[in-house]
Structure 1
Amino acid sequence: MRAILNLLTLLVLCSTSLYSQNSEAALPNDSLSKEINRIKKDIAQLKNLKISGWVQAQFQIADTRGISNYEGGTFSANSDKRFMIRRGRVKFTYNGKHTQYVMQLNGTERGLNLTEIFATATDPWTKAFSITAGVMNRPFGFEIDQSSSVRESPERSRYTQILMPNERDLGAKIVIAPGDKSKLHGLRLDAGFYNGQGIYVPGTSTPAGYAAGTTPLLGVNEVDFQKDFIGRLSYYKGFKNDKIKIGIGVSHYNGGNTYQNNKVYDQITNDQDGLKVWKMADTTNKTFKNKTAPRMYYGAEAFFSIKTTLGTTTIRGEYITGTQSGQNNSSSSPFFLPSSKDTYIRNFNGMYAYFIHRIAKTKHEIAVKYEIYDPNTKVAGRDITSATVNGLSSADIKFTQLGLTYTYYMYENVKFMFNYNIVTNETTNLNGFTKDIRDNILTIRMQYKF
């Protein structure tokens, strides 16, 4: 981009010079000067525009045909191998004096969609306060805000994709981030309000009530009166010329969905046979319909990185716990009003931990990622029988994952990633989950970034 602008400048100045020397009707000096200044101003404005992007082309092999997964979406019924464009991004960023405009598009074989579009204004005095409005990443934890182009594994964690699918939402936030001359540099507060439904992207997930492969609506949909608060307080700092880096943070999500009726299941009790069952809330003196079903999350993050002669070693992790309102067969946060009007309120927790090592000054990196998502901490394993027996379903099953990744940084803008994700579910009395299902996936990815 810079080379193109420099070439344009040279051509304009050369053509102007030749014109002034050879034309009998040359512009007066003052007119020529104004014209050159105008051209310089236009070029200076173009320099404020940055265009970037990346494409991730990949091949995947699954253990089982048609397997459901969080590594790019469910395989087709008769397929256990596939080529796909996981992401194809083009990002336009225009930086003003104290402002910024961002628009990012995503194009794959599944279609073209808007990923984000927002504007930011920063105070001109301290430059520590800013406000951002539009479609943006939810400010919860580290993993959501980390770009997929630099992430050390192919996908974000299972719990992230279930609780905050597609990462982004429509809303507004304030940011307080003291500059590098401040003693508080490294401290950052993000706090804002959002619709809560996020962005639905066809091909990545199918909302409840719609057949697989259908496309109900694209984009952000507001379906209730609830506005969700999201906040994150973090501190990331480098020492000894960034040879050592540390980071910590806490996050909070306070939102909800609208109860569509008074059938609310919010307790797990034991029946006369000692079997754990869902119990419907007492509505004798309480009405739920049209009120808010809770989505309450609490998160913590930690980060440590050290650079030695052996390379750069990074340890990073997050933990999340809270309350999630969902359906009998799903704990996912809905893009649309669920087809089932009954509400199930679950206590959950989840976590991930990375060990990452960039080998010496080579182009090779290894990463190990372990993650857990338990959608219902009140039940475990053999407690889960069937929706008809005790109201429990596959949405209550705990999953663990172990991801092993090798990345080769071939060029500055090209890298190859090889990942094998080992997925384990707890064994239950539920049909289809009486043993660990075969749902491991191998991903081979090439990424080009500019």
Structure 2
Amino acid sequence: MKNWLLILGFFVGLNGFSQNSIDSLKEVVDEHKMKISAFDERFATIESDLQKLAKIKLSGYIQAQYDYYDFSPEPSTNNTFYLRRARLKATYEAIDGVKFVLQPDFSTNSLSLKDAYVVINDRWTRTFSIWAGQFNRLNYEVEYTSTQREVLERSRVIRAIYPGEREIGVKLEANPLNFPFKFQFASFNGNFNGKDGKDAKDNDSAKDLMARAIYSLKFQKQGIGIDLGANGYYGSVKTKESKYVLNSENKLDSITIGDLLPRKWVGAEMQIYWDFLGGMSLKAEYLIGQNASLAASTTTVSQKGGTPTSTNSGGTTTTTTSGQSSTTKTVVSPNKTRDFSGYYIYLIKNIGRKNQFVAKYDSYDPNTKLSGDDAKTELYYNTLTFAWQHYFDDNIRISLSYEMPTNELNTTINKDIKDNTLSLRIQAKF
């Protein structure tokens, strides 16, 4: 009997011990579950952050350049090293079809904002897109990035009518998947001068309009592709200081300060690509129209007191204030409207897989109504450029270029201005 009681007591004690062990084990398991749950939450947060970071893409490039001049842009200077461009581009795709782009430029002695825009793409037909912000204007050479452009700089006519290349506004773009046609339409403030942002904000109610259309042809058997395009610009600029305007024939007209001067032109473009002996291409564009520039004022010597007098001669207004200590003279030149024309032609030939030869000819006449002595300093320029590109790999390119501008001659400028430039550029991108 005692043995049975001992055995029963043993099992009862064992059962109690087992129950305590199970309870302790449950507590340990629950504790680990809580830790694992907390870890899962932290991991989910990290994963979410990583997914957001994965939507951000960084790219950029640096263009270090050496120029040798056969003239001196500054006293005792005929060559220089500088950074032509140094840019970092951030692209964030928040959701499918919506993209944000921000691109500053860190060139020598300057920091400027180049691109800042949002693109909303049509996710249903994948044909349309809407752009809003600051971006390139609608032109082939303007939109063609400098990292791929075959010569170092854009044509003279493009630099004249599209300073800084960018503008602030909105753009609608249609690019059908199964039809070789692309159409762009944009509305801009029309004031951006490419130097800084203070003039980018609109100062009148009028907006500048741009349109561009491109149709592509492919001849697969011949290995030829042809892009044909047309573009147009219709805008204006608001007068501020002078009540006179000089037209293309230098005839003076009276206007009211605040009137709008027209800026309008049309262009035709063509790009031909031929898969022949490594590949070659021919690119050309012609532009013609009317541009306008505002009056410029210069002031000499500040004046603390005195009586102002005003005179006008040939549309140039001179205001003089005389006092006991000094004299202030402010000269306001008239506004100008000018009929212009310009074009460029590229010939590009690939030499093997890593080299490329380029010949380019461009012409720009800032005033087609006058020539010779009548044009005074508004001379037309023809520029011949030869360039050689060497591609180390997909990210590094070395460019050697020689640019030879030739100007119109008259009595005032009776010989070609010495302004040829030899340039060597190293470009690295990522």
TM norm structure 1: 0.76
Task: Indicate yes or no: 2:100 matched with 1:101.
Answer: yes
1:315 aligned residue: 282
Alpha-carbon offset, residue 244 of structure 1:
3.1
Is residue 168–residue 200 contact of structure 2 (8 Å, CA) maintained in 1? yes
Task: Indicate yes or no: 2:414 matched with 1:442.
Answer: no
* 1:263 maps to amino acid: Y
**Partner SS, residue 60 of structure 1:** strand
Is residue 248–residue 339 contact of structure 2 (8 Å, CA) maintained in 1? no
Is residue 259–residue 341 contact of structure 1 (8 Å, CA) maintained in 2? no
Equivalent-residue separation in structure 1 for 2:194 and 2:107 (angstroms): 15
* 1:24-65 deviations in Å (ceiling 9; x for gaps): 735577766665555444333322221111100010011111
2:190 to 180, 189, 196: 196
Task: Indicate yes or no: 2:258 matched with 1:279.
Answer: no
1:206 aligned residue: none
Give ranges in structure 2 of 5+ residues lacking alignment: 1-29, 297-330
2:405 aligned residue: 423
1:57 aligned residue: 64
Equivalent-residue separation in structure 2 for 1:267 and 1:398 (angstroms): 14
Larger radius of gyration: 2
* 1:293-323 deviations in Å (ceiling 9; x for gaps): 0100101110011123x21101001110001
**Partner SS, residue 412 of structure 1:** coil
**Partner SS, residue 43 of structure 1:** helix
Task: Indicate yes or no: 2:375 matched with 1:401.
Answer: no
* 1:439 maps to amino acid: D
Alpha-carbon offset, residue 178 of structure 1:
1.2
TM norm structure 2: 0.79
Alpha-carbon offset, residue 426 of structure 1:
0.8
Equivalent-residue separation in structure 1 for 2:387 and 2:33 (angstroms): 65
Alpha-carbon offset, residue 131 of structure 1:
1.2
Distance 1:301 1:39, change over 3 A: same
Task: Indicate yes or no: 2:114 matched with 1:137.
Answer: no
| Bigger proportion of residues as helix | 2
Is residue 383–residue 404 contact of structure 2 (8 Å, CA) maintained in 1? yes
Alpha-carbon offset, residue 288 of structure 1:
4.1
Give ranges in structure 1 of 5+ residues lacking alignment: 1-22, 67-75, 203-216, 269-277, 330-338, 385-392
Equivalent-residue separation in structure 2 for 1:279 and 1:177 (angstroms): 45
Task: Indicate yes or no: 2:63 matched with 1:81.
Answer: no
Is residue 55–residue 448 contact of structure 1 (8 Å, CA) maintained in 2? yes
Equivalent-residue separation in structure 1 for 2:195 and 2:246 (angstroms): 30
Task: Indicate yes or no: 2:323 matched with 1:351.
Answer: no
1:306 aligned residue: 274
Equivalent-residue separation in structure 1 for 2:222 and 2:150 (angstroms): 20
Distance 1:445 1:218, change over 3 A: farther
Equivalent-residue separation in structure 1 for 2:409 and 2:142 (angstroms): 30
Distance 1:31 1:51, change over 3 A: same
Equivalent-residue separation in structure 1 for 2:59 and 2:109 (angstroms): 21
* 1:220 maps to amino acid: A
Is residue 306–residue 314 contact of structure 1 (8 Å, CA) maintained in 2? yes
* Aligned residues: CA RMSD: 2.6
* 1:87 maps to amino acid: R
2:224 to 222, 226, 244: 244
Aligned residues: 367
* 1:155 maps to amino acid: E
2:17 aligned residue: none
